[in-house]
Amino acid sequence: MLKKYFLLILILIFPLIFFAVKDSQILTGKANPRKADIVIDAKNILRPIKPVWSGLAQGGEEPPPMLHSSISLIKPLAPKFIRIDHIYDYYSVVTLVNKRVVYDFSKLDDTVDDIIATGALPFFSLSYMPGVFTSSGSVIDLPQNWDLWKDLVKNTVEHYSGKNNRNLTGVYYEVWNEPELEQFGGFKLSGDKDYRLLYYYAAKGAAEAKTVNKFFLGGPSVGSYYSSWVTDFLSFVVQNKLQLDFYSWHRYHTNPEIFAQDSIKIRNNLKNFPSLSQVPLMLTEWGIDSGKSELNNQDIAAAFTIAAVSSFENTIEGSFVFEIKDGPPPFGGKWGLFTHELASRPLTAKPRYKAFEYLSKITGDKLSLLGQGSYVRSMAVKTPTGIRVILANYDFSGKNIENVPITFTNLDPYSYDLTYDYPLQAQSGFFEIVTSSGVINKSFIMQPNSILYLELNPKAPIAQFIPGKFDRSFDQALVLSSVNPLIFTYPQFSLKPVGSVSFDIKPMWTNDKSVFLMYEVAFSPSENNSKSLYLKKNEGLLEFGIQSDVEETYVSVPIQTWDNNWHHIDTSWDYTGLSLSVDNSPPVRNNLPVDIRNGKVLTIYPFQAAIDNLKIVITNEQLIGRFFDGKVDK
What digits encode the pLDDT tens for the residues 449-500? Answer: 999 999 999 998 888 899 999 988 889 999 998 888 999 999 889 999 999 9
- The DSSP letter of residue 347 is T
- In the predicted structure, residue 5 carries a pLDDT above the cut 60: no
- In the predicted structure, residue 18 carries a pLDDT above the cut 70: no
Antiparallel, parallel or unpaired: β 171-175 and 38-48: unpaired
How distant, in Å, are the alpha carbons of 201, 219, 228, 277, 387 from that of 232? 17, 13, 5, 14, 45
> Which three-class secondary structure string do you get for 93-119?
CEEEECCEEEECCHHHHHHHHHHHHCC
- In the predicted structure, residue 622 carries a pLDDT above the cut 80: no
- In the predicted structure, residue 63 carries a pLDDT above the cut 90: no
300-326: average pLDDT: 97
At 106-138, the pLDDT tens digits run 999 999 999 999 999 999 999 999 999 999 999
Is there a contact between 488 and 519 (Cβ–Cβ < 8 Å)? Answer: no
What value does the mean pLDDT of the chain take? Answer: 93
Confidence tier at 12 by pLDDT (50, 70, 90)? very low
Confidence tier at 16 by pLDDT (50, 70, 90)? very low
Non-local CB neighbours of 620 within 8 Å, separated by 6+ positions: 498
pLDDT at residue 30 in the model: 63
At 71-109, the pLDDT tens digits run 999 999 999 999 999 999 999 999 999 889 999 999 999
Residue among 590, 594, 584 nearest 502 (CA)? 584
Compute the distance between CA of residue 219 and CA of residue 199 in angstroms, rounded to an integer. Answer: 8
What are the extents of the domains in the chain? Answer: 33-46+365-461, 54-289+332-359, 464-626
Confidence tier at 302 by pLDDT (50, 70, 90)? very high
List the CATH code of the domain at 33-46+365-461.
2.60.40.1500
37-45: average pLDDT: 98
Is there a contact between 441 and 454 (Cβ–Cβ < 8 Å)? Answer: no
Is there a contact between 211 and 120 (Cβ–Cβ < 8 Å)? Answer: no
- In the predicted structure, residue 613 carries a pLDDT above the cut 50: yes
73: phi then psi, degrees, rounded to nearest 5: -80, -30
Does the domain at 464-626 match CATH 2.130.10.10? Answer given as no
What is the pTM for the complete model shown? 0.80
Does the domain at 54-289+332-359 match CATH 3.20.20.80? Answer given as yes
239-260: average pLDDT: 98
535-556: average pLDDT: 95
Exposure string of 152-172, with b = 16+ CB inside 10 Å and e = fewer, is bbbbbbbbbbbeebbebeebb
Confidence tier at 256 by pLDDT (50, 70, 90)? very high
Is the bond leading into 323 cis (omega within 30 degrees of zero)?
yes
pLDDT at residue 331 in the model: 86
- The DSSP letter of residue 500 is E
At 257-287, the pLDDT tens digits run 999 999 999 999 999 999 999 999 999 999 9
- In the predicted structure, residue 14 carries a pLDDT above the cut 70: no
CA atoms within 13 A on the CB side of 240: 18
